[in-house]
A and B are shown apart, each in its own frame.
Chain A
Amino acid sequence: MFSKSLLKTVTGVALGAAALLPMTQASAAEYKIDSEGQHAFIQFKISHLGYSYVLGTFEDFTGTFSYDPDSPENASASVKVDVSSLDTGHAERDKHILSDDFLDASQYPTATFESTGFESTGEGEGELKGKLTLHGTTQPITIDVEHIGGGDDPWGGYRQGFEGETTLTLSNFGIDTSKLGPTASTVDMYLVVEGIRQ
């Protein structure tokens, strides 16, 4: 009973509405951290005897984040770290850090971060609040985040990059560094993540 022209109109309107739909969610997106290309880094810095710093990284981790520049307060992130991928460039030291003297990686092989909220503090920066589970203990932490940049990449993808800083008090996670001297009670974390939009 429907005329051809009515069918065309209805189809046209439906397709048009569908085409417009992505634009309402254009800026909110899920990103997957580019672990395969290692365009993400988790670095830590801890005092050595009060005379210098030991720098190290966690090489293997995966994660996702969600970011909408138009409503940054909805930003979220979730990261899973393979603790045994720790690397300070010294085999015996890494073995010691991963042992049950400190990180106990055989019992707690994974560290995770789940965000609980984001508070914007300015243009492209803010505080990402969340729960860090490390050494089997979960504690709230806040990461100071800054948006570095984002956009189309040369290979057909779309990326956003952030850097973050936070300081962890190791005893809060049941990690005893007292035998390393008083300056080693905290560790500074510096993170860089680049995510590919999914």
Chain B
Amino acid sequence: MWRNSVHGWGLPSILLHWLSAALVVALFVLGWWMTGLGYYDRWYQLAPWWHKSLGLTLLGLTLVRMVWRLIQPTPEAHGVAWERVMAHAGHCLLYVLLLTVMVSGYLISTAEGQGISVFGVFELPALISDLPSQATLAGEVHWYAAWALIVLAVGHTLAALKHHIFDRRDTLRRMWWPGGPRRQ
């Protein structure tokens, strides 16, 4: 129920997976929409406030998730050898892109030493600031990494569907019912 096994994911992993997926999509849509807002739009200040609060929440969740993944067994990968290699590489890249997007976002707002408020509950202090053109460069990385993440997430979704529907494996069931399927 709680722990992962060779046969399936535990409940914490499942919850972290879908919560992250929802946040990634929500953050991407919110982020893209907010860059189109004008100075006099009501959401000009609110949208970034939500975007940063949710983004930093996701950063915390992702760090927890990565630790949990490393100290737990991982269900065996589906597919033939090259598919398993690609799956592993793809999953690693998802983690790399997640961290890249969120850390670069953090580096934009903290570029001059100001911290970031998380839902008004606490302020995350700036750790690295005053690097040359920090906000602008971090902004570029943030933009491109976000697009790469979304594209890769779409690929990840399609691959999971391929294994579940075409190969008739229990790929999706594993990421829904904790403890692995009763039947293979």
Contacts and interface: CB of A to CB of B under 8 A. Distances in A.
B135 interface: yes
Contact of A95 (B111, B114, B129): B111
Contacts of B129: 91
Interface string A70-106: 0000000000000010010111101100110000011
B33 interface: no
Nearest to A92: B109
A105 B38 contact: no
Contact of A180 (B39, B48, B134, B136): B39
A92 B113 CA distance: 11
Contacts of B110: 91
B139 interface: yes
A105 B134 CA distance: 13
B108 to A, nearest CB: 6
A87 B38 CA distance: 22
B133 interface: yes
- What is the size category of the interface that chain A forms with chain B? 10 to 19
Nearest to A99: B136
B39 A95 contact: no
Q: Which of B38, B108, B110, B133 is the most central at the interface, judged by chain A CB atoms within 10 Å of its CB?
A: B133
A95 B136 contact: yes
A106 B133 CA distance: 10
Contacts of B108: 91-92, 95
Nearest to B113: A91
Nearest to A94: B135
Interface of B: 38-40, 48, 108-112, 114, 129, 132-136, 139
28 contacts: A84-B132, A89-B112, A90-B114, A91-B108, A91-B109, A91-B111, A91-B112, A91-B114, A91-B129, A91-B134, A91-B135, A92-B48, A92-B108, A92-B109, A92-B135, A94-B112, A94-B135, A95-B135, A95-B136, A98-B133, A98-B135, A98-B136, A99-B136, A106-B136, A179-B38, A179-B39, A179-B40, A181-B39
Given A91-B111, A94-B135, A98-B135, 9 more contacts: A84-B133, A92-B135, A94-B112, A95-B135, A95-B136, A95-B139, A98-B136, A99-B136, A181-B39
